[in-house]
Structure formats: C-alpha cells, structure tokens
C-alpha cells in the first residue's frame, strides 16, 4: 500500500483511507455494528491504515463503532484516526458550529467515543461563517500543543479561508469532495494544496457509489438515503452518469484489465498529494484494494477519460447539495 505524510506533521498513513460516513448509518439507511467492525478490521488487514470519521456520522455512532473496532486486538496501534469537529445537531438537523467552546467539548467527546488519548488528524468539518476563523484555528493549535491531536486539517474550505486559518495555526491537510465526476477543486483547492504542502483527503472518491460499477438504472434508494436528494441520481442526469460509468468501465478493462472502481481510486491518487477516501460497509466491498497499486493513469488515458465525460454528461452538477445550512438555528 502506498504511503503519504500528512502535511509536515510527521504522521504517515496509507494513500487509501476508509471513509465511515455510511458506517454511521445516518443518511445511508442504518448500520450493522458487527459488520462495520469487520469492515474496519478488514481494511487495516489489507493495508488501509487511515480511518476517517466524524461525530455527525450517525450522531456519534460512526466514531463509537470505530473506537470499538480499534480497541480490539491491537488495531489502534496499526491505524491512524482522522475525525472532525464543527458540526452540531439538534432534533436530527445539522448546523455549523466552530465556536471555541463547542470545539473544546467536541474533542473530549470524540476522544471518549474513539477510545484513544490522541487523534492523528483533527479537521474542521465545514467553515462556520458565524465564527471567526482565527479563533477556530487557535483552538486547534492549543489542542495540538496539549498532545490531544497530532495534525490539523480543514474540510470544505476555500483557499481564502485556508489562508486565514494558516495565518494563526499550521495546517496539514484539506478534505474536499473530489472524484472523476466532481472536479471543481482542480480550479483552486488542488493547486493551492500543492503550493502550500497540504495533503488532500479526497472524500466521495467513488461518488456515493456511482463509480463502484454496481449501481444500475433500476437501483432504488429508500429511507433517509442521501442519494434521493443528489441531482446526479435524478432523471435525466442519472442516465447520463450511468452511461459515463459504463464507458469508463470499458476503458479500464481494455487498457488495464481493471474495473471502473479501481480506475476511480487510481485516478484520484494520480492527481497530486492525495488520499482517496473509500466508503465501505462490508468487508467484501474492499476486495478491489489489491488492484490499485502498481499502475498509473497516464496523460493519454486522462484525455480519453475527459472525452468520455464530455460526451456522456452534458449537464454536470457539483456536490453542493451536501452542504449544511450556513446559519445556526
């Protein structure tokens, strides 16, 4: 498994990380704790040592499951934990809150749920436009000085917001949505990260399952599944995206003998100082992990991919639908 440092922190981790939003169950139709624990163990056994979670994933459920899994059989010593802060919830509704008092409460709750005394990467989940960024940065710098966190990151921040943060505290990582189908960060965040030495944790690397190759035209999304509100999964766009995935799968099989899922992960890793966060809920969903190393997507293949997307998707849409409200209730 390829390795990467998280910024200048000295924390080393795998370039594939396990994303655990779905394991939390919220907006993914519930969770199975025993299967989730088996998935975390399977990921680490395969060399995927970074586990990315957040308090809001199931309102504590994901962190709790990650903590239980890593407390077993010495798994904590083999893993790096990335979690987040800055999102609060009330009556099942999520809102941004990065006020210092909230952050100081969240770190203690996360440490308790994760059953650890230090978090390897601590990230602000979304920028809070009602809390000064310098105050937020100062709290994380204090937490690092206290030995409660090893490195500092932000998620969904713009370069201007990261500049404001970095004026107060060192920043090691940024976590934006990034995959073959959602590439907005190539205009700003990706070059900014390369210029400033930040490691990019790309969330949604398989685009809510679209790039897994398993979703078909008749796949149904029920309950609180967030894909019911994702514009990519609504007609007529859904058919366009499925056409693109089918062509990408054919290209991957022809050129490399791989699936579209392997291509999606490899492509993210070939874009710069990146980590691909791979959401999985069952151990078997990680079976293609062994197909990622040992090859690259060269410039010619990238051009073919771009041509497929331009031909199949006349009206691409961003992942902006996932953003929580800007104002606190």
Q: Is the model's pLDDT at 34 over the cut of 60?
A: yes
Instruction: Specify the pLDDT at position 32.
Output: 86
Residue of 282, 270, 256, 7 lying closest to 151 (CA atoms): 7
Q: Is the model's pLDDT at 25 over the cut of 70?
A: no
3-state SS, one letter per residue, for the chain: CCEEECCCCCCEEECEEEECCHHHCCCCCCCCHHHHHHHHHHHHHCCCCEEECCCCCCCCHHHHHHHHHHCCCCHHHHCEEEEEECEEEECCEEEECCCHHHHHHHHHHHHHHHCCCCECEEEECCCCCCCCHHHHHHHHHHHHHCCCECCEEEECCCHHHHHHHHCCCCCCEEECECECCECHHHHCHHHHHHHHCCEEEEECCCCCCHHHCCCCCCCCCCCCCHHHCCHHHCCCHHHHHHHHHHHHHHHHHHHHCCCHHHHHHHHHHCCCCEEEEEECCCHHHHHHHHHCCCCCCCHHHHHHHHHHHHHHCCCCCCCHHHCCCCCCC
Which string of b and e fits 36-45 if b means at least 16 CB within 10 Å? bbebbbbbbe
Across 32-39, average pLDDT = 93
Q: Is the model's pLDDT at 35 over the cut of 90?
A: yes
Q: Is the dihedral of CA 38, 182, 264, 127 positive or negative?
A: negative
Instruction: Specify the pLDDT at position 264.
Output: 98
Q: Which CATH architecture has domain 3-212+265-293?
A: Alpha-Beta Barrel (3.20)
Q: Is the model's pLDDT at 68 over the cut of 90?
A: yes
Q: Is the model's pLDDT at 195 over the cut of 70?
A: yes
Annotated catalytic residue within 57, 75, 122, 241 = 57
Q: Is residue 57 flagged as an active site residue?
A: yes
The token pair that represents 235 in the structure block: 């007609």
Rg of the Cα trace of the chain? 19
More confident residue, 19 or 32: 19
Tens of pLDDT, residues 150-180: 999 999 999 999 999 999 999 999 999 999 9
Tens of pLDDT, residues 265-284: 999 999 999 999 999 999 99
Tell me what percent of the residues of the chain surpass a pLDDT of 70: 98
Residue of 186, 164, 162, 242 lying closest to 209 (CA atoms): 242
**Confidence bin at 224 (pLDDT 50/70/90):** confident
What pTM, to 2 d.p., does this model score? 0.95
Domain ranges of the chain: 3-212+265-293
DSSP β-ladder status, 121-124 and 12-14: unpaired
Instruction: Specify the pLDDT at position 23.
Output: 86
Tens of pLDDT, residues 101-157: 999 999 999 999 999 999 999 999 999 999 999 999 999 999 999 999 999 999 999
The token pair that represents 328 in the structure block: 């606190």
More confident residue, 91 or 238: 238
Across 64-86, average pLDDT = 97
Instruction: Specify the pLDDT at position 26.
Output: 55
Tens of pLDDT, residues 203-222: 999 999 999 999 999 999 88
């Amino acid at each position: 498994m390829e390795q990467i440092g998280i910024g200048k922190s000295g924390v080393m981790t795998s370039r594939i990380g396990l994303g655990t939003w779905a394991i939390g169950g919220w907006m993914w139709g519930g969770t199975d704790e025993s299967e989730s624990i088996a998935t975390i163990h399977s990921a680490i056994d395969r060399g995927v040592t970074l586990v990315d979670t957040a308090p809001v994933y199931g309102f504590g459920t994901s962190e709790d499951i990650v903590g239980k899994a890593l407390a077993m059989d010495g798994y904590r010593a083999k893993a790096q934990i990335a979690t987040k802060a800055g999102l609060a919830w009330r009556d099942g509704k999520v809102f941004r809150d990065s006020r210092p008092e909230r952050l100081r409460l969240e770190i203690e709750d996360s440490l308790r749920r994760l059953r650890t005394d230090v978090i390897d990467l601590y990230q602000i989940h979304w920028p809070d436009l009602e809390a000064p960024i310098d105050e937020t940065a100062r709290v994380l710098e204090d937490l690092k000085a206290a030995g409660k966190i090893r490195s500092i990151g932000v998620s969904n921040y713009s370069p201007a917001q990261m500049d404001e943060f970095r004026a107060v505290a060192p920043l090691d990582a940024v976590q934006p949505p990034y995959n073959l189908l959602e590439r907005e960060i190539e205009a700003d965040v990706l070059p900014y990260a390369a210029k400033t030495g930040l490691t990019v944790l790309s969330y949604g690397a398989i685009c809510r399952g679209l790039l897994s190759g398993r979703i078909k035209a008749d796949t149904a999304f029920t309950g609180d599944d967030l894909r019911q509100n994702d514009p990519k999964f609504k007609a007529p766009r859904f058919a366009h995206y499925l056409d693109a995935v089918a062509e990408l799968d054919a290209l991957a099989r022809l050129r490399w003998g791989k699936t579209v899922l392997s291509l999606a992960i490899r492509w993210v890793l070939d874009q710069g100082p990146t980590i691909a966060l791979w959401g999985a809920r069952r151990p078997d969903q990680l079976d293609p992990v062994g197909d990622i190393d040992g090859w690259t997507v060269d410039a010619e293949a990238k051009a073919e991919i771009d041509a497929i997307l331009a031909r199949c998707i006349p009206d691409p849409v961003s992942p902006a639908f996932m953003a929580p409200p800007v104002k606190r209730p």
